[in-house]
Amino acid sequence: MLPIMVFLLWNTESRAQLDLSVSEAYPDSICNPGSMFLTVQIENLGGILVTAGQADISWTEVGSGTWHTENVTAGIGLGGISWTFSVWADLSTCGTNTFQVAIDAPLDLNPNNDTLTFSIFSTCLFGATSLVGDTICATPNVQLEVDYAISSFNPAVLDWITSTDNGNTWSSLGSQSTVLGIPNPQPNQIVIAIFDGGGICPNDSVEMLLLPQPVLTVQNSGNNTIFACDNQNWVQVVVTQPNNMNDNINWTTSGNGFFVDPFNDTTNYYFGSSDYTNPNLFLTASSLMPPQCVDQDSVHIVFNPSPNGVVTGNTFACEGDTIILNAAGGFQYLWYDDVNNTTTPTGTGNPFQFIATADDTLATYVISSNTCTDTVITFITVHETPDIQTISDTTVCPNATIQLTTTASNGAGSAWDWQWNPPFGLDDPTLQSPMLLVQGPQTFVVRAINPATGCSDFDTVIVSLPAGVTFTPFPDTMICPGNTIILQTNASTSASILWTPNLYINNVNDPNPAVTPPVTTTYIVEVSGICSFQDTVVVSVDNAQNYIMVSDSIFCLGVEFIASMSGSTAGSYFWMVDGNFQSSTNTMNMQPSDVDSMIVQCDMTTVNGCNVSVQRTVYQGNDFQCGGDVTSAFSPNGDGVNDIWVINGLDGTIPNTVQILTRYGDKLVHFENYDNVNVVWNGTNAQGKPMPSGVYYYVIEVNGETKAGWVNISK
């Protein structure tokens, strides 16, 4: 606080004259201190030296109604003394504070003039407030604003100052500034005060508590929507804060799922069953510290349909086979041969193929156009492949017999299936090591097949003839009658050749002779030279002897006559009966005319291109052959009715024999030229003894034809 000075003066007359004045040590205005001690200056203006004296000084704050009096004893000479009163003056009134001082001294000759009235102007600035609150949630470059009210006047000059250590250290903000910018606010207390132009003391101040303001941003690929798939169990959501308070996050959801580690900046949200049908599923992140400053942000979860992936292909393979898999149901396909490694795919695209080496499990990620995926697990079963090896390529003479030996290095070959191709010359092409009759140079391929898995391996062996030896066996063949064929052996010209028999052949020493056999002939060729061997060729003739006409030996009027050809199927048929065309199919059906005999002929073109004609003469049958029947029962009891056995069609004109036997095969009676009148059976045996009722067996022979059956005697 600033002191107030009052001066008291004496003169040199017999009665001292006191003249009071206010020293200029007091300013015209003062910051409102509340209360302070007043100081006055007493000065003797009379010129008379007073070595000692006393005075009573009284003062009052005008308007208060209270005088304060103090006794002063001091030597008073020329000049003066300063005196500070012991009672505080009240300066709490904003504006003019008026005080009156009176001096009463023994030598005072004019007490009425020993008074003085003076004023101290108290500036009174108050009402400083924060425009942004006492607790500030601060962000970078926060603007702190304050305001104030003036009670009685507007001082000419004010300074705003700030302290971040509760007033221990001050920093000026500039004249009449009301905005403070904090580039990097820290959580502590700040004081802003108003000073008058004198800079003596602050007039008013306001305290603010700065707290960091969390700023949350839920981010997912730069947008506020997370697209999930309807077959997805969870999503990861991330929140960022520039003030690094990421461990103070509270996550809430509008769904029924749950969070993992919900207080961290990165959390996993696991979907509830009803989330997939919730179009308003939001995940909200809220800051927890400081509790006065809260920020939040949210992300919308939208579900996309996931694909339905399908993988097809050969999932069972043999070691070394190529596996080809086709995927469907998506837009893009990633293939992994390690289901636990989803970093680098083994392959991409469709189809996917690889060499099978061992059992494997593939994971196929089927990706749709909305980036949703489906995982298809495919199990690959790989079976061991047989490992075989044949004998080395060999050279032998024709017609030699050798064994084509095959070994199996990784299994019991006897349990496998074996296939040799071509099979020609092999005793059994299904054996592991068959015998070969060498007929010429030949390359064989052998395949071993595991019947349990179908896996196979193959190898090749080449059988060659010695250098300079050539021979190609001529296969058995068929020619048309009268045709000539060349038997080509292609044997070396240095070899000695002999063909046998010397029949229908132009040169028995020719390696490739011409033969024209009229009938089927077997030729044997013997070759002598570096290799000696022989070969056999059957030349068949495609003639009528190779075909048989099948028909009835007789024909009967009114009965359909049927004839057909047996043997090799022909290329065409032309049937004639007595020179008249009947049919062009393999079987002929006709109705015979009333003739004694007819010539049935079939002209054919065989599959070998040969023209062959086969004919047969058939005769009309007799009454017995063409409709005669045998009575199945008779009653030889002497009543004149049905006493004899009647065989229709036999009248004695057709030679015949008839035998009657018991049911056990014993002969009873024999007839020659049975005629139903004189030569007839009356039910007795050869001795004329009547046979009992029962069933008997008969055999009838007419013109080489036999008819047999049963006849019943009933008495």
**Backbone dihedral angles phi then psi of residue 113, each to the nearest 5 degrees:** -95, 0
Instruction: Give the pLDDT confidence of 171-226 residue by residue, as tens digits.
Output: 555 444 446 566 556 655 666 666 554 444 555 667 777 777 778 888 765 568 88
Closest to 23 measured CA to CA, from 70, 83, 78, 69: 83
Q: What is the DSSP string of 120-139?
A: EEEE-EEEEEESS-SEEEE-
pLDDT band at 64 (very low <50, low <70, confident <90, very high): confident
Is the previous residue joined to 106 through a cis bond, with omega within 30 degrees of 0? no
Using CA atoms, how far residue 40 sits from 20, 36, 293, 487, in Å, is: 9, 13, 57, 165
Percentage above 90 pLDDT, the chain: 33
The reported pLDDT for the residue numbered 223 is 67
Tokens of 84: 């500070």
Q: Does residue 545 sit in helix, strand or coil? A: helix
User: Which residue would you say has higher pLDDT here, 389 or 176?
Assistant: 389
**Of the listed ranges 120-129, 303-312, 681-690, the one predicted with least confidence:** 120-129
Residue in 96, 151, 120, 90 with CA at minimum distance from that of residue 28: 120
Nearest to 572 by CA among 551, 547, 600, 603: 603
- pLDDT confidence of residue 138: 72
Structure tokens at 591: 């109705």
Res 11 pLDDT > 50:
no
Report, as an integer, the average pLDDT of 269-289.
91
Give the CA diameter of the chain: 227
**Tokens standing for 644?**
């004899």
Structure confidence at residue 200 (pLDDT): 45
pLDDT tens sequence across 399-411: 889 999 998 877 6
Beta bridge partners of 260: 268
Chain mean position to CA 460: 42
If pLDDT is split at 50, 70 and 90, which confidence band does 15 have?
Answer: very low
For β-strands 21-22 and 6-7, DSSP reports them as antiparallel
Query: Residues with Cβ < 8 Å from 649, sequence gap 6 or more?
Result: 622, 623, 624, 625, 627, 628, 629
Distance CA 133, CA 292 (A): 12
Residue 557: the pLDDT is: 85
From the centroid of its chain, how far is CA 219? 29
Q: Which one is predicted more confidently, 169 or 52?
A: 169
First to last CA, the chain: 177
DSSP-derived 3-state class of residue 408: strand
pLDDT interval class at 310 (50, 70, 90): very high
| pLDDT (average), residues 556-561 | 86
Three-class SS state of 276? helix
Give the type of residue at 387: D
How many residues can be counted in the chain? 715
Which two structure tokens, joined as six digits, stand for 263? Answer: 């207080």
Q: What is the mean pLDDT of residues 672-691?
A: 92
Look at residue 592 and tell me whether its pLDDT is greater than 70: yes
Give the tokens for residue 690: 């009547």
Note the pLDDT tens digit of each residue in 35-61: 777 776 666 555 444 444 566 778 788
Cα dihedral 667→672→676→679 (10° resolution): -90
pLDDT category at 515 given cuts 50, 70, 90 is very high
Stretch 525-536: mean pLDDT, rounded? 87
Using a pLDDT cut of 70, give the percent of the chain over it: 76
Contacts 24+ apart (CB under 8 A), 66-72: 72/42
Lowest-confidence pick of 51-55, 535-539, 588-592: 51-55
Taking all residues of the chain, what is their mean pLDDT, rounded to a whole number? Answer: 80
Mean pLDDT for 430-455 is: 91
Q: Provide the pLDDT confidence category of residue 142 given band limits of 50, 70 and 90.
A: low
Q: Is 237 helix (H, G, I), strand (E, B) or coil?
A: strand
Rounded CA separation 383/452 (Å): 10
Q: Name the residue with tokens 């999503």.
A: 235
Q: What pLDDT does residue 643 have?
A: 92
Phi and psi for 414 in degrees, rounded to 5?
Answer: -65, -20
In the numeric block, the tokens 């207390």 are attached to: 189
What pLDDT score was predicted for residue 67?
Answer: 84
Residue 104 contacts residue 13 (beta carbons within 8 Å): no
CA–CA distances in Å: residue 412 to residues 198, 229, 448: 116, 53, 11
0.95 surpassed by pTM: no
What average pLDDT does this structure show over 389-407?
Answer: 90
> What pLDDT, on a 0 to 100 scale, did the predictor assign at position 635?
93
Distances (CA, A) of 284 to 138, 176, 185, 272, 302: 22, 44, 27, 16, 15
Going by their DSSP bridges, the two strands 29-31 and 115-123 should be labelled as parallel
- pLDDT for res 155: 46
Q: Which is higher by pLDDT, 127 or 294? A: 294
Give the model's confidence band at 246: pLDDT under 50 very low, under 70 low, under 90 confident, else very high. low
| pLDDT-wise least confident of 194-203, 562-571, 607-616 | 194-203
Distance of CA 595 to CAs 118, 577, 582, 598, 621, Å?
184, 12, 17, 7, 11
Residue 705 burial (C-beta neighbours within 10 Å; 0-12, 13-18, 19+): middle
**72 or 496: which leads in pLDDT:** 496
pLDDT of residue 173: 53
Q: CA nearest 578: which of 600, 608, 552, 594?
A: 600
The phi-psi region of residue 415 (left if phi > 0; otherwise alpha if psi is between -120 and 50; otherwise beta) is alpha
Q: Residue 313 CB: number of other CB atoms within 10 A? A: 15
- The gap from C-alpha 429 to its chain's centroid, in whole angstroms, comes to 46
Give the closest residue to 440 by CA, choosing from 509, 406, 488: 488
CA distance linking residue 364 with residue 381, whole number of Å: 17
Each as own residue / partner, the long-range contacts of residues 84-87 (CB below 8 Å, 24 or more positions apart, any chain) are: 84/3, 84/37, 84/38, 84/39, 85/37, 85/38, 85/39, 85/40, 85/57, 85/59, 86/37, 87/37
Quickly count helices (H) and strands (E) in the chain.
0, 60
Q: What is the mean pLDDT of residues 139-165?
A: 58
pLDDT at position 24 over 70: no
Q: Check: CB of residue 281 under 8 Å from CB of residue 232.
A: no
Q: Is residue 364 classed exposed, middle or buried when 0-12, 13-18 and 19+ CB atoms within 10 A define those classes?
A: buried
- Asked whether the beta carbons of 89 and 60 are under 8 A apart, the reply is no
pLDDT for 521 equals 95
pLDDT at 10: 37
Q: How distant is the alpha carbon of residue 630 from its chain centre?
A: 85
Band of residue 671 on the pLDDT scale cut at 50, 70, 90: very high
Q: Is the Cβ–Cβ distance between 91 and 33 less than 8 Å?
A: yes
What is the chain's alpha carbon radius of gyration, rounded to the nearest angstrom? 71
Check residue 644 and give its pLDDT.
Answer: 93
b (16+ CB within 10 A) / e for 648-667: ebbbeebebebebbeeeeee
The whole-number pLDDT of residue 22 equals 43
Position with higher pLDDT, 589 vs 135: 589
Instruction: For residues 613 and 615, give the distance between their C-alpha atoms in angstroms, rounded to a whole number.
Output: 7
3-state secondary structure of 432: coil
pLDDT above 50: residue 714: yes
User: CA quadruple 88, 93, 97, 101: dihedral positive or negative?
Assistant: negative
What is the rounded distance in angstroms from the CA atom of residue 273 to the CA atom of residue 151? 68
CA 409 to chain centre: 39
Phi then psi dihedrals of residue 630, to 5 deg? -110, 130
Query: Which residue ranges form the domains of the chain, and what is each CATH number?
Result: 6-123 (2.60.40.10), 125-212 (2.60.40.730), 217-304 (2.60.40.10), 310-383 (2.60.40.10), 388-464 (2.60.40.10), 477-541 (2.60.40.10), 544-620 (2.60.40.10), 633-713 (2.60.40)
Residue 32 has pLDDT above 50, yes or no: yes
In this prediction, residue 621 has a pLDDT band, given cuts at 50, 70 and 90, of confident
Q: Are 515 and 484 spatial neighbours (Cβ–Cβ below 8 Å)?
A: yes
How high is the pLDDT of residue 665? Answer: 86
* Spatial separation of the C-alpha atoms in residues 496 and 511, rounded to whole Å: 9
Q: What is the pLDDT of residues 108-119, one digit of tens each?
A: 555 555 677 777
Q: Looking at per-residue confidence, does 64 or 597 come out higher?
A: 597
